[in-house]
Amino acid sequence: MKDYPRTEERTGVQESGDFEPVFDVQSDFVMVYGFHDLKNRIKKWKKAGYVIHLMTGVSWGNYQDYLFARWDGINHRDEGQKLPSGEERAHGPDVPYMVPSNAFAHYLADGLKYAVDCGVEAIHLEEPEFWVETGYSDAFKREWKIYYKEDWIDPQSSCDAQYRASKLKQYLYTRTLDRLCSELKEYAMVKYGRLLRFYVPTHSLINYTQWKIVSPESALIDLPTVDGYIAQIWTGTSRERNYFRGVRKERTFETAFLEYGVMQELVRGTGRRMWYLADPIEDNPRFSWQDYRANYYRTVVASLFHPEISDYEVSPWPRRVMKGRHEATDETLKARREEFRAFTEAGGKREDFKPSADTMVTIPPEYKTNLLTVMHTLRDMADQGDIEWPRGNREVAVALADSAMFQRICPGETNYGSIDAGSESGALEFSPFYGLALPLVKAGIAARPVQLDNIRRYPAYLDPYKTLVLSYEFMKPASPDINEGLSGWVKNGGTLVLVGDGSDPFHGVREWWNSGANRYDTPTEHLTLALGIGKSPADGLYEVGSGRVLVMNVHPAKLAKDAAASDDYRDKVLSLLGGVEPSATLDLRRGVYRITARMDEVSDESDVLEGDFIDLFADGLPVVENPELKPDSVGLWYDVRRIDKSEPAAILALSGRAEKTDVSQRSLKFTFRGPSEMTAQARIWTKRPPKSVKVTADGETKDLPFDYEPDSETSYFTFPSDGKPIKVSVSF
């Protein structure tokens, strides 16, 4: 673990408050959130050593001065996103989700210019979100007439109207981001002669589709003014329930694995930057610290299975993590819920409930220590360029298009008020996609969601993949050249698994496959004719040029709801890969690190990771021989056999930043920096057993006890951190 300069911006946090030592996680940059007291907050964070970015919401925020005519003398309250009932879709009182008009873009630009004047080096415009069920405000109706040159049509009146409304929503936020980034980059260059960077923190295409939200997603690839993204994936998105073999439940690891996978497609081959987010907690009292810790590890491991990305937002709102209060365990949370239930059943009012005991606690000390260790391990990932799948690389691409966001509500559907509501149709759970993806992940296949829209952007986009799964029952190709590209890829040796029964009502929307000279009932018909296998091919495997097409005339949602159909689909895909056996384990090596996930629901047996490894998720960072991989477990391991012994000593794991590291033939010295009110930990390697470990703080030097593990030649020790620099010296 090396001393990387903060200017590399490998890790970051976002925070709306002032700097405080208790949540000084020692990331490289901070995204100060919002415009309030901006100069003062920037000054404090900069003094603490952080590179300064700004983050603000682009679809919602405290923009009351704009809404209520205090900015330009015009009342803009009609620009909130509205439901069919006329009610606003709001993020809070007087904080509606906005229809991004040109005037709104100009208003945001004024505020952002102030941030540039304050010296921020980059700006993050987060969460451009337009809810599918909205589209009823006067502002949106005006935009409809400008864009389509016709009077507004109720989006709920037909599939075609809903599809067109969603396409417009994507365009509006893409337009807004382009204008903001262009104007502000010019402003920074003209006034200060410096290049301002712009990033878009956004949920994944999978999550936005599942939650019924329209966002620019891959449309941002076409904007040269956008420098990159943050993949906003955390337990709050990835614990969303989905179906596998007919069972609906949380599958945090598997869902996060797919979410991170599709996000990397926004930057693959572009030279742009992506930070993967993993939030240690949610702002949600329904879960305990025990639950948060387990699911945080699942999201971290899911992100690490995508080695093309090696930068991370290690915590949004570190104040919330280090100072927030939650139940310690699932058991205490259950007891509180039962006490509340008994109180309300006895006639008590919800607002009058007071628990018999205050069992809410701040972050458990051992989790805090381990959390900081994981955060700084993530900062080390960029140098782990030696990538290997020790059990063989079995990748299958699963196509996903932006248009999946456009067809999320059918006419007459009313069950859209809550993303937590159930849905027998499977629409809310996005079952067609998960029906294609989850059986593969559960079989130990690295299912890679690929951006179908990129086929028209990059001629060789699909070349890294040999097998692609595709269905047009929940999304549509934006243009015929996508199908032509697919056809060429197959004829050059690719294997296409084509799933669908043609029943999706959105096949009838006004689009290229049924317009002009084209007279196809579905875009699939256009594709199969281009492949030369007929307009309506029967189930079976077809030879096409040097490639193959497996046709399965079944709706992909059935693969999620029906166990037999799911297993049949999985087995057919595995046979195309050469008849490989399904495995419940995913296993990747990134340099000195091993990342593992053992699936549940498909096997009750444990697996074994052969060798000696430091368990980076365990308290005390123990060295484990042949660790057991239990079902529904994830792991982040340091491979002891791969310790770099070219120097006399090395820091293997540390719950903070190591600065001024100095290694000699007899000693290892470094300065530790981390938050206050925590116990720091370190595991180091030395070529000889240590003689002593000393720490110096505030001019006082103390000897530390340490545990030496002779087989691995590593030592473990802890020491208190008060937020100030601590000098550590190991003699050996």
Q: For the segment 129-173, what is each residue's pLDDT rounded down to a tens digit?
A: 999 999 999 999 999 999 999 999 999 999 999 999 999 999 999
Check whether 256 has a pLDDT greater than 80: yes
Domain pair 395-576 / 649-731, same fold = no
Q: For the segment 531-563, what is each residue's pLDDT rounded down to a tens digit?
A: 999 999 999 999 999 999 999 999 999 999 999
Q: How confident is the model at residue 416 (pLDDT cuts 50, 70, 90)?
A: very low
Check whether 423 has a pLDDT greater than 70: no
Q: Let me know: does 492 contact 531? Beta carbons within 8 Å.
A: no
Residue-level pLDDT at 3: 81
Residue-level pLDDT at 357: 84
Check whether 411 has a pLDDT greater than 80: no
Residue with token string 């149709």: 425
HSE-up of 130 (CA within 13 Å, CB side)? 26
According to DSSP, the residues that pair with 466 across neighbouring strands are none
Check whether 417 has a pLDDT greater than 70: no
Mean pLDDT across 397-402:
98
Q: Where are the domains of the chain?
A: 395-576, 585-642, 649-731
Check whether 18 has a pLDDT greater than 50: yes
Residue-level pLDDT at 1: 82
Structure tokens at 685: 């390697």
Q: How far apart are CA 259 and CA 299, in angstroms?
A: 10
Residue-level pLDDT at 393: 81
**Going by C-beta distance under 8 Å and a sequence separation of 6 or more, which residues neighbour residue 30?**
12, 13, 14, 15, 19, 45, 50, 51, 52, 53
Q: For the segment 591-650, what is each residue's pLDDT rounded down to a tens digit?
A: 999 999 999 999 999 999 999 999 999 999 999 999 999 999 999 999 999 999 999 999
Burial bucket for residue 642 (CB in 10 Å: 0-12, 13-18, 19+): middle
Q: How far apart are CA 560 and CA 649, in angstroms?
A: 51
Residue-level pLDDT at 2: 81
Number of C-beta neighbours around residue 410 at 10 A: 15
According to DSSP, the residues that pair with 495 across neighbouring strands are 467, 548
Residue-level pLDDT at 412: 65
Q: What phi-psi label fits residue 285: left (phi over 0), alpha (psi between -120 and 50 degrees) or beta?
A: alpha
Q: How confident is the model at residue 427 (pLDDT cuts 50, 70, 90)?
A: low
What percent of the chain lies above the pLDDT cut of 70?
A: 98
Check whether 123 has a pLDDT greater than 70: yes
At the second CATH level, the architecture of 649-731 is Sandwich (2.60)
Check whether 414 has a pLDDT greater than 60: no
Q: For the segment 572-607, what is each residue's pLDDT rounded down to a tens digit?
A: 999 999 878 899 999 999 999 999 999 999 999 999
Residue-level pLDDT at 215: 98
Check whether 24 has a pLDDT greater than 70: yes
DSSP state of 421: S
Buried-state track 684-699, b at ≥16 Cβ within 10 A, e below 16: bbbeeebeebebebee
- CATH fold, domain 395-576, is Rossmann fold (3.40.50)
| Cα three-residue angle 21-24-26, rounded to 5 degrees | 140
**Going by C-beta distance under 8 Å and a sequence separation of 6 or more, which residues neighbour residue 241?**
248, 249, 250, 251, 429
Check whether 689 has a pLDDT greater than 50: yes
Letter for the amino acid at 522?
A: T
User: Considering all CA atoms of the chain, what is the largest pairwise distance in Å, rounded to the nearest integer?
Assistant: 84
What percent of the chain lies above the pLDDT cut of 90?
A: 90
C-alpha 520, offset from chain centre: 37
**Going by C-beta distance under 8 Å and a sequence separation of 6 or more, which residues neighbour residue 725?**
659, 671, 672, 673, 697
Q: Let me know: does 169 contact 130? Beta carbons within 8 Å.
A: yes
Structure tokens at 321: 């993590």
Q: Which residue has the higher pLDDT, 432 or 423?
A: 432
> Roughly what angle, to the nearest 10 degrees, separates helices 289-304 and 330-345?
130
Check whether 424 has a pLDDT greater than 80: no
Residue-level pLDDT at 421: 31
Residue-level pLDDT at 413: 56
Q: How far apart are CA 521 and CA 393, in angstroms?
A: 38
Check whether 183 has a pLDDT greater than 80: yes
Residue-level pLDDT at 426: 43
Mean pLDDT across 390-399:
92
Confidence (pTM): 0.96
Q: How confident is the model at residue 419 (pLDDT cuts 50, 70, 90)?
A: very low
Residue-level pLDDT at 284: 81
